[in-house]
Amino acid sequence: MKYEYLTNEDLDIAVESYITALKAEGLTPVSETIPVFEASGRVTAEAVYAHICAPHYNASAMDGIALMANVTFGATETTPVRLDASQFIQVDTGDPMPEGTDAVVMIEDVVRDGDDVLLYGAAVPWQHVRQVGEDVCAGDMILPSYTVITPAALGAMLAGGVMEVSVVKPPVVGIIPTGDEIVAPCTDPKPGDIIEFNSTIFSGILSSWGAVPKTYPIVKDIKEDIINTMKKAVEECDAVIINAGSSAGRDDYSSLAVSTVGTMLYHGIAIKPGKPAILGYAGKKPILGVPGYPVSGIIVLDQIMRPVIEVMTGRNLHQQAEIEATLGRVMTSPLKYREFVRVRLGVDDKGGYIATPLSRGAGVVTSFVKADGIIDVPQDCEGYEAGDKVKVTLLRPIQDLNNTLTIIGSHDPLIDEVADILKRQNPDSVVSSSHVGSMGAIMAVKRGEAQMGAIHLLDEATGEYNTSFVAKYFKDGGVKLEKGVKRVQGIMVAKGNPKGIKEFKDMARDDISYVNRQKGAGTRILCDYLIKKNGMNAADIYGYEREEFTHTSVAAQIASGTADAGLGIYSAAKTYDLDFIPICNEEYDLLIDEKAYDSEKIKDFLKVLHSDELKERLKRLGGYETWD
Amino acid sequence: MKYEYLTNEDLDIAVESYITALKAEGLTPVSETIPVFEASGRVTAEAVYAHICAPHYNASAMDGIALMANVTFGATETTPVRLDASQFIQVDTGDPMPEGTDAVVMIEDVVRDGDDVLLYGAAVPWQHVRQVGEDVCAGDMILPSYTVITPAALGAMLAGGVMEVSVVKPPVVGIIPTGDEIVAPCTDPKPGDIIEFNSTIFSGILSSWGAVPKTYPIVKDIKEDIINTMKKAVEECDAVIINAGSSAGRDDYSSLAVSTVGTMLYHGIAIKPGKPAILGYAGKKPILGVPGYPVSGIIVLDQIMRPVIEVMTGRNLHQQAEIEATLGRVMTSPLKYREFVRVRLGVDDKGGYIATPLSRGAGVVTSFVKADGIIDVPQDCEGYEAGDKVKVTLLRPIQDLNNTLTIIGSHDPLIDEVADILKRQNPDSVVSSSHVGSMGAIMAVKRGEAQMGAIHLLDEATGEYNTSFVAKYFKDGGVKLEKGVKRVQGIMVAKGNPKGIKEFKDMARDDISYVNRQKGAGTRILCDYLIKKNGMNAADIYGYEREEFTHTSVAAQIASGTADAGLGIYSAAKTYDLDFIPICNEEYDLLIDEKAYDSEKIKDFLKVLHSDELKERLKRLGGYETWD
């Protein structure tokens, strides 16, 4: 079935009628009884009542003497009451109240006189007695149904004599990966192989929701095999997820299998990514068809499977908080879909949040690793302008955001290395870095979206790095330029330099395919400077329009043989075992918002920047010189 | 060692120097290598770099034809380029780019002419090609050290050819319960037995922090046994918790054992509860002495063990949010300690949070089950006035609070039953109920602290229930009184009525010991009314001052034989198998804030109140009549 045949249902309507249909089929939490010892984090399937009182006996709450209060009545400061040994019993804290006593007098208030005692005050019945049921009384409800059992609740149940508890049985969710090109994860896939990591992602998500994932072996795109595997999964599991091949150009038997084994309620939801989702069921067992791209899969699970698992587990899984953020740049969105956009969040200089949209490619799973939150763009919204206020659903605790040092700018692996060292020193520290080039760094710091920018900008007129750009863009100051490192830039070429490239001028040769960096990148500016200096023309360079965002991705293209040369730093060439023709020694510096300069996170960053540990790491990466 | 010998160290100073000492001894996360498939939720022990690029090959991003872009150069709307079959290859989305091609032309832009094709536009190199490394490039850092591995990160690692990952090994924490009176959880403890549920609570807490608890059998208060068990635990575990007997009046060998097996850094921290905590270590292995009362234990674990586990796991465990709330009533705090007070939180009629302190008894573990948050009262603070703003650290997600229906007032098990039915209908619903008596209900609704109050107040003058009180306290309206149930009140006496009690007047008999309800409770007001009506004197009733907060706790005292009689509802007598002498049929009604009356949560509550399911449950409880 091709994507064009899909319907375009509204997400909320589809989910609501899906849940209604599943409940009508009898979908409800299933219970099992387990020992209380093993119940931490589980969900009660029914209300839990105390069987016994806690404490289960009246206990002395003090060290002192236990007695009947009425024998002390009338005692005052001036007229003490004398008790003989038969009228009181010595007790320690926690001792059961002896038979025939109803109060405790603290040891400090007892005056001994031989075997007798004198009391200079009357006791009130039940004073200093920890009474039966002070904590919980037999018959009291300790926990209602569908409540997560906290560690303290385990204690309350055991105190109340409850040894076993009826909890929701974790639903088993089958995951069926399908597709001719799909292969199990490995370190040496062949061209055309698609590594099957979705089932691992889905398993992690389902486990975090209290379900038990069960992944089936990969099924090829053979109609009968897919149908048979689904039949088996429906038999063995409480719910089934079928993960389609990611290709839109191939046959997809998922919907056919759903219709054959059960009922298909929807095929095609008006969301992006995730449109080809299938909502079906066999009896009360939900069957969800999930598109093959990982980001689509995660969104479909989150939006459609999560409410289903909530019904199956009696649990509220909507735990993420929502915040308001300012959009850092314009973001368009199609009117045909409700769109879920991953964003990074930074804290601006006024303590507000700035959201920067990440790659929207449905295949880019790292965008979910980098994402701090998600913007839910309604279908009738064409997008937002830079500066618009947007609601962002958080993907990580808000405390982490407030600890985050946001660095925007030119790509260099040293930023990741510093972030790692900071994390090792203090796991609370978070560095969020985005690669938008040196000019992007200047703009981001100017707008207050980043505390730090990473730049290497050559002033053609003076031959100096960075200072003239800072002077130009920050006429009124407000920033400090901190020396970073010197690093070698040059031409990366295949191992052994098979095309005999000697200098930048060779880029114009007919037999050379070039790979460039994106506009605004310092390395792109260097490229343009070299073109001008050598009297060349951009049009003469085959591949000038081919843009990559990092040094390593340029190196990766050359290593894969799809480009002959590209500009980049030595460490990237070294990582990919490429040959390297040095061109210049450039200055990679850090532009810091003056308002943030004295903050702990900047101080910590700069301390690491000048540390021996970083120097050691830079030596391993290669091609760096430090200033100190 | 008695408590008097303890020091009174400042918590922050103690924890900081404890952590410093442990780090100096070499405490640091330990790593282990595991398959990526099993790594969800674990913490990286070192930075993870991609081994291969993802995608690992250049792939067509469209259905169409692959070709060298330069063969299309010059093609325009008017002068198409003709390609023969040797110059292009048909590709589907996801196919590897064939050798010698660098661009894809969409099938829609291809005009077939026999075996040839005509193109009416030039292709740009690498158009419609999903390039090597679009997601992640070999050599790129996927995750820094000490980062929680999310499901998406599993996908990114597998995509990057990472099959195994170095993660922090969960530390094994030994738990040693000690004490002569301590017994394993059971349903029929003897008087004086203390049920050992702390190790279960601690295990739950430690597991939630990513540690592995290992509980040792209960050790009696024998010096040598405690020292030997600690030696064994230090050998077998990465950290040890020793849980002292809860008694302050007995010998406690914990500190002796810590000093013998290792080094004792502190004994006695200026916190309440939790003062007798012991901070020690044997080499780099932390040893924590935890007091026996469960609430003290939880606070000590949270305040002292949590930062230690953070060091051992490389994890930030400070995930709870903090909110500002208004204190509902005055709260005093000793100057000698920094105090941690459990509170319930409600949402007031302006959307703000109201904090109500819960029982401060260190033995009352249910106070932690009921608690929504904790107030950290500094040592130099004598407490707060009602209406003061206080910071509250949340114990549950803030979304749950916003869903909460707060009911304050007279105790009746029917409130718990309605809450349970609501939860079964919708696990998101939360009912928070506090038992402060009918007069407390009126005050709480008046102050906007509760959306609903539960009252049964008899007007002695008219013999009518509730209406005249509402008229008196809400002269300007603002509330609605909703009919609840009629329930039988009476005198609860031991099974078989051994003392031959016939009427309320018997409460003044010399051989009768009474148990009362707290001031403000409707049942207390009934008691006072009966005293007056019968021409009695409160002073004539032995036990008039003995106060309990619920019907069940009054019943529990009678069932345990420590009181002969008390007023309460029939269902409480039935639960405890007591005899019951009916006195009146009272009206238990619901006072609802008019501003909340139309809210979903009130509507849902009232629907359940009038439901057949509740009637069924009330029939089982006994002693109720409904109005409809």
Q: What was the pLDDT predicted at B326?
A: 93
Q: Tell me the nearest-neighbour CA distance from B115 into chain A, angstroms.
A: 22
Q: What is the ipTM of this complex?
A: 0.93
Q: What was the pLDDT predicted at B248?
A: 46
Query: Does residue A540 register a pLDDT over 90?
Result: yes
- Neighboring chain B residues of A221 at a CB cutoff of 8 Å: none
Residue A204 and residue A455: Cα distance in Å, rounded? 38
Rounded mean pLDDT, B151-176: 98
Range with lowest mean pLDDT among A12-21, A399-408, A562-571: A399-408
Q: What was the pLDDT predicted at A557?
A: 94
Rounded mean pLDDT, A440-447: 91
Indicate the pLDDT class of residue A454, thresholds 50, 70 and 90: very high
Range with lowest mean pLDDT among B84-88, B156-160, B235-239, B431-435: B431-435
Residue B410 and residue B549: Cα distance in Å, rounded? 9
Q: Tell me the nearest-neighbour CA distance from B544 into chain A, angstroms.
A: 9
Is residue B539 less than 8 Å (CB to CB) from chain A? no
Q: What was the pLDDT predicted at A245?
A: 56
Q: Do B427 and A310 touch (CB under 8 A)?
A: yes
pLDDT digits (tens, 9 = 90+) for B211-250: 999 999 999 989 999 999 999 999 999 999 999 854 444 5
Q: What was the pLDDT predicted at B435?
A: 84
Please say whether the beta carbons of B354 and B208 come within 8 A: no
Helices and strands of chain B, counted as H and E runs: 17, 37
Cα B178 to Cα A254, B219, B288, distances in angstroms: 59, 5, 13
Q: Do A368 and B150 touch (CB under 8 A)?
A: yes
Residue B11 and residue A464: Cα distance in Å, rounded? 54
Q: What was the pLDDT predicted at B321?
A: 83
Indicate the pLDDT class of residue B319, thresholds 50, 70 and 90: low
Query: Does residue A397 register a pLDDT over 90?
Result: no
Tell me, what DSSP letter sits at residue A23? H
Indicate the pLDDT class of residue B396, thresholds 50, 70 and 90: confident
Q: What was the pLDDT predicted at A3?
A: 44
Is residue B137 less than 8 Å (CB to CB) from chain A? yes
Is residue B420 less than 8 Å (CB to CB) from chain A? yes
Is residue A294 less than 8 Å (CB to CB) from chain B? yes
Give the H or E element holding residue B167: strand B164-168
Nearest to A96 among B94, B192, B416 (CB): B192
Residue B432 and residue A271: Cα distance in Å, rounded? 38
Q: Tell me the nearest-neighbour CA distance from B614 into chain A, angstroms.
A: 14
For A362, the closest chain B residue by CA position comes to B135
Q: What was the pLDDT predicted at B67?
A: 96
Nearest to B92 among A41, A59, A249 (CB): A249
Closest CA to A311 of A234, A380, A239: A239
For B215, the closest chain A residue by CA position comes to A37
Interface list for A 380-399 with B (CB within 8 A) = 397-399
Query: Does residue A1 register a pLDDT over 80?
Result: no
Rounded mean pLDDT, B28-38: 97
Is residue A549 less than 8 Å (CB to CB) from chain B? no
Place of tokens 């032309």: B105
Query: Does residue B337 register a pLDDT over 70?
Result: yes
Query: Does residue B4 register a pLDDT over 60?
Result: no
Nearest to B197 among A41, A154, A557 (CB): A154
Rounded mean pLDDT, A155-169: 97
Structure tokens at A512: 């050379």
Nearest to A155 among B40, B145, B201 (CB): B201
Q: Tell me the nearest-neighbour CA distance from B198 into chain A, angstroms.
A: 7
Structure tokens at B576: 């405890």
Strands A172-177 and A547-548: unpaired
Rounded mean pLDDT, B548-555: 93
pLDDT digits (tens, 9 = 90+) for B568-586: 999 999 999 999 999 999 9
Residue B412 and residue B455: Cα distance in Å, rounded? 10
| Whole-number average pLDDT of chain B | 93
pLDDT digits (tens, 9 = 90+) for A92-121: 888 999 998 999 999 989 999 999 999 999
Nearest to B427 among A181, A315, A576 (CB): A315
Structure tokens at B583: 């006195």
Give phi and psi for A159, each to the nearest 5. Answer: -60, -35
Question: E strands, B464-532, where?
Answer: 479-493, 516-517
Rounded mean pLDDT, A462-472: 93
Instruction: Please give the biggest Cα pair distance in chain B.
Output: 118
**CB–CB contacts below 8 A, A to B:** 381
Query: Does residue A143 register a pLDDT over 80?
Result: yes
Q: Do A201 and B397 touch (CB under 8 A)?
A: no
Rounded mean pLDDT, A456-477: 92
Rounded mean pLDDT, B539-560: 93
To the question of pTM greater than 0.90 for the whole model, the response is yes
Indicate the pLDDT class of residue B593, thresholds 50, 70 and 90: very high
Is residue A54 less than 8 Å (CB to CB) from chain B? yes
Q: Tell me the nearest-neighbour CA distance from A561 into chain B, angstroms.
A: 10
What is the percentage of chain A residues whose pLDDT exceeds 90?
80
Is residue A74 less than 8 Å (CB to CB) from chain B? no
Mutate: best of B301, B423, B512, B569, partner A, most A CBs <10 A: B423
The verdict on whether omega for the bond into residue B286 sits within 30 degrees of 0, i.e. cis, is no
Q: Do B194 and A58 touch (CB under 8 A)?
A: no
Structure tokens at B247: 């008694």
Tell me, what DSSP letter sits at residue A514? B
For A186, the closest chain B residue by CA position comes to B161
pLDDT digits (tens, 9 = 90+) for A50-96: 999 999 999 998 889 999 999 999 999 999 999 999 999 999 888 99
Closest CA to A491 of A565, A599, A427, A548: A565
Range with lowest mean pLDDT among A311-325, A416-430, A537-551: A311-325
pLDDT digits (tens, 9 = 90+) for A338-381: 999 999 998 887 889 999 888 778 888 999 999 999 999 999 99
Q: What was the pLDDT predicted at A262?
A: 97
Residue A70 and residue A80: Cα distance in Å, rounded? 14
Residue A140 and residue B416: Cα distance in Å, rounded? 9
Rounded mean pLDDT, B361-375: 90
| Whole-number average pLDDT of chain A | 93
Query: Does residue B329 register a pLDDT over 50?
Result: yes
Q: Do A137 and B550 touch (CB under 8 A)?
A: yes
Is residue A400 less than 8 Å (CB to CB) from chain B? yes
Residue B422 and residue B418: Cα distance in Å, rounded? 6
Residue B519 and residue B523: Cα distance in Å, rounded? 9
Is residue A20 less than 8 Å (CB to CB) from chain B? no
Place of tokens 């490239």: A501
- Neighboring chain B residues of A58 at a CB cutoff of 8 Å: 560, 562
Cα A625 to chain centroid, rounded: 35
Is residue A188 less than 8 Å (CB to CB) from chain B? yes
Is residue B513 less than 8 Å (CB to CB) from chain A? yes
Indicate the pLDDT class of residue A5, thresholds 50, 70 and 90: low
- Neighboring chain A residues of B399 at a CB cutoff of 8 Å: 316, 318-319, 321
Closest CA to B568 of A66, B557, B560, A365: B557
Rounded mean pLDDT, A518-536: 93
- Neighboring chain B residues of A431 at a CB cutoff of 8 Å: 144
Q: What was the pLDDT predicted at A363?
A: 82
Q: What was the pLDDT predicted at A2?
A: 42
- Neighboring chain A residues of B56 at a CB cutoff of 8 Å: 189, 191, 193, 195
Query: Does residue A249 register a pLDDT over 70?
Result: no
Cα B339 to chain centroid, rounded: 19
Nearest to B575 among A58, A138, A156 (CB): A138
Q: What was the pLDDT predicted at B540?
A: 93
Closest CA to A450 of A596, A610, A324: A596
What is the percentage of chain B residues whose pLDDT exceeds 70?
98
